[in-house]
Amino acid sequence: MKGFVQAHGRLPTFSEAQKLLGYRSKGGVSNLMAHLARHRFVEKDRHGKRVPTSLLKSGLKLLGAVQAGFPSPAEEELIDTLSLDEFLVPNREASYLVKVTGDSMIEAGIFPDDLIIVERGRSPKSGDIVIAQIDGEWTLKYFEKTAGGVVLRPANKKYPPLYPKGELIVAGVVVANVRKYR
């Protein structure tokens, strides 16, 4: 079951599970699903559809929290497993990755070669970081609504704010930033 979930990103249908596990009837699959639900491997989403929890997905061990300020005693305890996809991507179907070039957002903690996760279809609010096409060119900036219209603000004092003269297309709102240190 775990291999199927990791390969397909979803639970098998009852027919697929029956074939996969060699069960003679779907009643056996139903009993298995009830067992998996009791042990928190499966849960129902907001539409009532059975979905795998992080226990069935590939993920990293979540071992607690660490203080970023003054040192404090830490205990290593397995709290759960965590899929980075599940943590970083709120809407998988509407999301995509983009590699960052340029330094106009470095004061927001977004550096060249970072990967950002962008969600399409989300209406930007003031303060969101967006990918937008302004006057025919694509850019990554803070989105801000003002009385005079929209301003795209960089997070680097070297660059001026951008005021769209023509059409402004917001391609998506940045929901996460991923940086690899090594």
Q: Which of 30, 104, 125, 126 is catalytic?
A: 104
Amino acid code (one letter) for 94 = A
Nearest alpha-carbon partner for 96 in 124, 123, 122, 117: 117
Beta bridge partner(s), residue 96: 118
DSSP H or E stretch at residue 57: none
In whole angstroms, give the CA distance from residue 71 to residue 75. Answer: 12
Grouping H, G, I as helix, E, B as strand and the rest as coil, residue 63 is coil
**110-141 CB burial, b ≥16 within 10 A, e <16:** beeebebbbbeebebeeebbbbbebeeeebbb
Active site residue 104: yes
Q: What are phi and psi of 57, to 5 degrees?
A: -95, 160
Q: Which residue in the list 54, 141, 158, 165 is annotated as catalytic? A: 141
The residues that are catalytic are 104, 141
